[in-house]
Amino acid sequence: MSLSESILPVPGVRLGIAAAGINYPDRDDLLVIELAEGASCAGVFTRNAFCAAPVELARQHLQKTVPRYLLVNSGNANAGTGRQGFQAAVQSCEALAALVGCEVTQVLPFSTGVIGEHLPVERLLKALPDALAQLDGAAWPVAAGAIMTTDTRAKMVSRQFEVEGVAVTVTGIAKGAGMIRPDMATMLAYLATDLKVEPGLLQSCLQQALEPSFNSISVDGDTSTNDACILMASGVSSLAPVTDAGSAAYRKLSEAVREVCMYLAREIIRDGEGATKLVQIQVEQAADEQEARTVAYTIAHSPLVKTALFAADPNWGRILAAVGRAGLHELAIEQVEIWLDDVCIVRDGGRAASYTEAAGQQVMDRPEFTIGVKLGRGQARARVLTCDLSYDYVKINAEYRT
Q: Is the confidence at residue 166, as pLDDT, over 70?
A: yes
Q: pLDDT digit string (tens) for 72-128?
A: 999 999 999 999 999 999 999 999 999 999 999 999 999 999 999 999 999 999 999
- From 270, 287, 305, the end of a domain falls on 270
Question: pLDDT-based confidence at 222, cuts 50/70/90?
Answer: confident
Q: In the prediction, which pLDDT does 288 show?
A: 97
Question: pLDDT-based confidence at 184, cuts 50/70/90?
Answer: low
Q: Is the confidence at residue 173, as pLDDT, over 50?
A: yes
- Do 262 and 289 lie in one domain? The reply is no
- Do 109 and 11 lie in one domain? The reply is yes
Beta strand extents in 12-165 (DSSP E only): 13-18, 30-35, 40-45, 69-76, 107-114, 155-163
- Do 254 and 361 lie in one domain? The reply is no
Question: pLDDT-based confidence at 1, cuts 50/70/90?
Answer: very low
- Do 214 and 307 lie in one domain? The reply is no
Mean pLDDT of 274-286: 95
Domain of 253, CATH number, reads 3.60.70.12
Q: Which domain holds residue 309?
A: 278-398
- The answer to whether the CB of 222 falls within 8 A of the CB of 179 is yes
Q: How far apart are CA 400 and CA 205, in angstroms?
A: 36
Q: Is the confidence at residue 64, as pLDDT, over 90?
A: yes
- Do 95 and 164 lie in one domain? The reply is yes
Q: In the prediction, which pLDDT does 321 show?
A: 97
Centroid of chain to Cα 277: 18
Question: pLDDT-based confidence at 260, cuts 50/70/90?
Answer: very high
- Do 263 and 282 lie in one domain? The reply is no
- From 235, 270, 305, the end of a domain falls on 270
Q: pLDDT digit string (tens) for 114-165?
A: 999 999 999 999 999 999 999 999 999 999 999 999 899 999 999 999 999 9
Computed over every residue of the chain, the mean pLDDT equals 94
Question: pLDDT-based confidence at 3, cuts 50/70/90?
Answer: very low
Share of the chain above pLDDT 70, in %: 98
Q: Which region holds residue 285: left if phi is over 0, alpha if psi is between -120 and 50, else beta?
A: left
Q: Which residues pair with 172 in a beta bridge?
A: 157, 191
- Do 260 and 363 lie in one domain? The reply is no
- Do 32 and 89 lie in one domain? The reply is yes
* Active-site residue list: 186
Q: In the prediction, which pLDDT does 402 show?
A: 64
Domain of 379, CATH number, reads 3.10.20.340
- Do 155 and 225 lie in one domain? The reply is yes
The string of DSSP codes covering 261-300 is HHHHHHHHHHT-TT---EEEEEEEEESSHHHHHHHHHHHH
Question: pLDDT-based confidence at 282, cuts 50/70/90?
Answer: very high
Question: pLDDT-based confidence at 359, cuts 50/70/90?
Answer: very high
- Do 362 and 378 lie in one domain? The reply is yes
Q: In the prediction, which pLDDT does 4 show?
A: 37
Q: Which of 60, 56, 159, 182 is nearest to 110 (CA)?
A: 56
- From 249, 270, 291, the end of a domain falls on 270
Sign of the dihedral through C-alpha 168, 28, 278, 219? negative
Question: pLDDT-based confidence at 183, cuts 50/70/90?
Answer: low
- Do 147 and 246 lie in one domain? The reply is yes
- Do 51 and 199 lie in one domain? The reply is yes
Q: pLDDT digit string (tens) for 227-257?
A: 899 999 999 999 999 999 999 999 999 999 9
Question: pLDDT-based confidence at 188, cuts 50/70/90?
Answer: very high
Looking at the 3D structure of the chain, how many domains does it have?
2
Q: What is the pTM of this model?
A: 0.92
Q: In the prediction, which pLDDT does 186 show?
A: 54
